[in-house]
A and B are shown apart, each in its own frame.
Chain A
């Protein structure tokens, strides 16, 4: 079963870039911060939260005039004025439905173009109307520097130009907020009920002389609401995808774990073999070093070294290997000690084999099974150590790891917001991965360890 777990994780890691299109480090604002996963809507408390929606506006004429000719198609409205010298205005509306609970923020965007403007002053104004409460909120207008408060006289704006194209959006919410003179969380006030809303576009034409023409086209109008539910596992405090972090974290964790365990075991094996085979002073010396290292407090030292030497992945792997190799060294050394007394070694020596040869041809292949078992069992401890270090905050900030996810969850309000989708998955992944390795390791251990072999 452990093998199955490992295979699943490895395949996730390898296919990571295909599974999610988002870069875990740089992606932000995919949705509202700390958004629940999409499927959480089956739970009643999360039912009404809006997913990330883009509501395209389809304009309709609410109140036209005889001088203005409007052409409508999906998402596009072309308003043409041709006619007498009379000031006139026209209202366009786009109705949409908002069936969710109030969002945190919203933004609008649209682009308009004015063409063939001759001897005409015009102005536009965009309003959002909440049909249920009847309040209307003036979102944008083309007054450009005039008094924001509504005046009975709409001041003329533009002179003769051939074409102007403006794209307006409200991603900077403070502008909108001060314009509407509402407090933060105004989106909740605006979209307070479920139901119908509509965008109202008020266009005013004021010809300055005869034969004035003006053509204004509106397109790409939409209201975007960053959803409060999104994705498979929701988002973190910056709006980045947690599922994506998890997937890329698999890559990182596997790399760290396997390489750290490999180096650990390599060093330990070398030391153990040399100490066990050489014996005498070399043995004493190496064993003393091993004992000293065993007495060192591992985790505090790891933390200290991570702090002192900087926070990079490579350093972490090196430090872990440098600190944790002692356990295997002991085991391997005792195995080598017992191997050394065996008959085949003596016969090899009698045949004139050099020491190097014996070590390479006989000792190492015989300790390899134990070394391998030890390595497999070391991987989870390497992964967990790395998670601990990044959880404290001393990990590599450019790498997506599960520890980092948990750290952000702990520090950035995941707990206060009850963001269970943020906290549970990384740790669960850690646990399952460790379990996989532990299972395999135990199985291998049972097979290769001569002490345990008797009991099967």
Chain B
């Protein structure tokens, strides 16, 4: 086990390094505009001042030096200053990270719980109207682009001018946020409701379908017949036996899905003006805020590689065959 773990970690580090080099290439070499552009937009900045800034950010040094420094910085989480807000990138990022995590973890939880429950229910009543309905909804939401559903919800329910608006137009809390902790929680809940609802509506269908097919698979096994023959209640059979077999797959699926959560979050945050990492990423891209964008891409990469690593570890933990390696 230790050898497996070690190998995987080394491997992840290599992947990260490759990705980081790629990021560096994209931003510092291929970009059409000099990284100084965001600063240079200020017309009061004279040429000498621009040069001074260039030297300050180390942009006048040769590419190889910059590369080495960049790699070192990224791995030590020294992200430098954002061009746009003149504050350290790390300071900007942490609160937003927290905001994003709130939204995404909540939506994941609801999604999984709701989806799995619905999937189990549909599997137990295979072929009935409920089953067909669930399949239909699942397929439908699978095809519908998430951001469009969110747009629709936003348009009808959160629009100040719309007659049935019952939700606030975006952002996390009213400004200024209420200081009383209970009121703050209530305010947060009020604001998070709509993004959460849209995220869940858009994605739980997939979970339901997935669970359902897994359940159907395990329900055809022989030990289910045995369990029924033993006289166990249907509920016990369903939950205790069939579901438990698929549980491991579902759990690994949860871990696999985590990376894509962050990516889907970008659109959600954009539409609902939720101050999280995704919205900030979009913003920094649009205003050519290079340090911030680089740092964020790096964070995304870390998250994805980390999640994949986690998945591999879980697999390795659960299934001893993978640890040893399948001999051909």
Q: Please give the residue numbers on chain A whose beta carbons come within 8 Å of chain B beta carbons, in ascending order.
A: 291-292, 294-301, 303-305, 307-310, 380, 384, 387-388, 391-394, 406, 410, 415-418, 420, 423-424, 427, 430-431, 434-435, 437-439, 442
Chain A residues near B154 (CB-CB < 8 A): 415
Tell which of B45-53, B58-66, B263-271 binds the partner. Answer: B263-271
Chain A residues near B271 (CB-CB < 8 A): 410
Chain A residues near B285 (CB-CB < 8 A): 303-304, 307, 394
Chain B residues near A418 (CB-CB < 8 A): 159, 161-162
Q: Could you tell me if B282 and A423 are in contact, using CB atoms closer than 8 angstroms?
A: no
Q: Could you tell me if B301 and A308 are in contact, using CB atoms closer than 8 angstroms?
A: no
| B215 interfacial by beta-carbon distance below 8 Å | no
Query: 23 A-B contacts, Cβ less than 8 Å apart?
Result: A292-B19, A296-B304, A297-B262, A304-B26, A304-B297, A307-B285, A384-B145, A388-B267, A392-B282, A393-B286, A406-B148, A415-B155, A416-B159, A423-B155, A424-B152, A427-B145, A427-B151, A430-B148, A431-B144, A431-B145, A435-B139, A435-B144, A438-B143
Chain B residues near A304 (CB-CB < 8 A): 26-27, 285, 293, 297
* Cβ contact of A431, chosen from B22, B27, B148, cutoff 8 A: B148
* Cβ contact of A308, chosen from B32, B152, B266, cutoff 8 A: B32
Q: Could you tell me if B281 and A300 are in contact, using CB atoms closer than 8 angstroms?
A: yes
* Cβ contact of A299, chosen from B152, B263, B303, cutoff 8 A: B263
Of all chain B residues, which has the CB nearest A423? B155
Q: Could you tell me if A434 and B297 are in contact, using CB atoms closer than 8 angstroms?
A: no
Question: In whole angstroms, how far apart are the Cα atoms of A438 and B270 in the complex?
Answer: 27
Question: In whole angstroms, how far apart are the Cα atoms of A309 and B32 in the complex?
Answer: 7
Q: Could you tell me if A300 and B300 are in contact, using CB atoms closer than 8 angstroms?
A: yes
Q: Could you tell me if B27 and A308 are in contact, using CB atoms closer than 8 angstroms?
A: yes
Q: Which of B15, B140, B296 has the most CB of A within 10 A?
A: B15
Question: In whole angstroms, how far apart are the Cα atoms of A295 and B298 in the complex?
Answer: 12
| B85 interfacial by beta-carbon distance below 8 Å | no
Q: Could you tell me if A297 and B259 are in contact, using CB atoms closer than 8 angstroms?
A: yes
| B31 interfacial by beta-carbon distance below 8 Å | yes
| B226 interfacial by beta-carbon distance below 8 Å | no
Q: Which of A300, A406, A435 has the most CB of B within 10 A?
A: A300
* Cβ contact of B296, chosen from A300, A424, A435, cutoff 8 A: A300
Question: In whole angstroms, how far apart are the Cα atoms of A380 and B15 in the complex?
Answer: 29
Question: In whole angstroms, how far apart are the Cα atoms of A301 and B294 in the complex?
Answer: 11
Chain B residues near A393 (CB-CB < 8 A): 286
| B142 interfacial by beta-carbon distance below 8 Å | yes
Closest beta carbon of chain B to A51's beta carbon, Å: 24
Instruction: Count A-B contacts at CB 8 Å.
Output: 112
Question: In whole angstroms, how far apart are the Cα atoms of A124 and B306 in the complex?
Answer: 81
Chain B residues near A291 (CB-CB < 8 A): 15
Q: Could you tell me if B263 and A300 are in contact, using CB atoms closer than 8 angstroms?
A: yes
Q: Could you tell me if A310 and B32 are in contact, using CB atoms closer than 8 angstroms?
A: yes
Q: Could you tell me if B15 and A434 are in contact, using CB atoms closer than 8 angstroms?
A: no
Q: Could you tell me if B300 and A297 are in contact, using CB atoms closer than 8 angstroms?
A: yes
Chain A residues near B155 (CB-CB < 8 A): 415, 420, 423
Q: Could you tell me if A434 and B147 are in contact, using CB atoms closer than 8 angstroms?
A: no
Q: Could you tell me if A431 and B143 are in contact, using CB atoms closer than 8 angstroms?
A: yes
Q: Which of B138-190 contact A (CB under 8 A)?
A: 139-140, 142-145, 147-148, 151-152, 154-155, 159-162
Chain A residues near B27 (CB-CB < 8 A): 304, 308
Contact A423:B147 (CB < 8 A) given known A309-B30, A416-B161: no
Closest beta carbon of chain A to B249's beta carbon, Å: 15
Q: Which of B32, B145, B285 has the most CB of A within 10 A?
A: B145
Question: In whole angstroms, how far apart are the Cα atoms of A253 and B270 in the complex?
Answer: 23
Contact A387:B262 (CB < 8 A) given known A308-B27, A308-B30: no
| B246 interfacial by beta-carbon distance below 8 Å | no
Chain B residues near A384 (CB-CB < 8 A): 145
Contact A388:B301 (CB < 8 A) given known A304-B293, A427-B152: no
| B305 interfacial by beta-carbon distance below 8 Å | yes
Q: Which of A295, A310, A410, A423 has the most CB of B within 10 A?
A: A295
Chain B residues near A392 (CB-CB < 8 A): 270, 282, 286
Of all chain B residues, which has the CB nearest A307? B285
Beyond A297-B304, A423-B152, 10 additional contacts (C-beta under 8 Å) are A294-B308, A295-B301, A299-B263, A300-B296, A301-B297, A391-B267, A415-B159, A418-B161, A418-B162, A431-B145
Q: Could you tell me if B297 and A308 are in contact, using CB atoms closer than 8 angstroms?
A: no
Of all chain B residues, which has the CB nearest A438? B143
Q: Could you tell me if A292 and B18 are in contact, using CB atoms closer than 8 angstroms?
A: yes
Of all chain A residues, which has the CB nearest B33? A308
Of all chain B residues, which has the CB nearest A402? B148
Of all chain B residues, which has the CB nearest A387? B145
Question: In whole angstroms, how far apart are the Cα atoms of A451 and B235 in the complex?
Answer: 29
Contact A388:B297 (CB < 8 A) given known A294-B308, A304-B26: no
Of all chain A residues, which has the CB nearest B29? A308
Question: In whole angstroms, how far apart are the Cα atoms of A430 and B155 in the complex?
Answer: 17
Of all chain B residues, which has the CB nearest A309? B30
Chain A residues near B147 (CB-CB < 8 A): 387-388, 391
* Cβ contact of A300, chosen from B148, B152, B266, cutoff 8 A: B266
Closest beta carbon of chain A to B198's beta carbon, Å: 13
Chain A residues near B270 (CB-CB < 8 A): 392
Closest beta carbon of chain A to B168's beta carbon, Å: 14
Closest beta carbon of chain A to B252's beta carbon, Å: 15
Contact A410:B263 (CB < 8 A) given known A303-B282, A309-B30: no
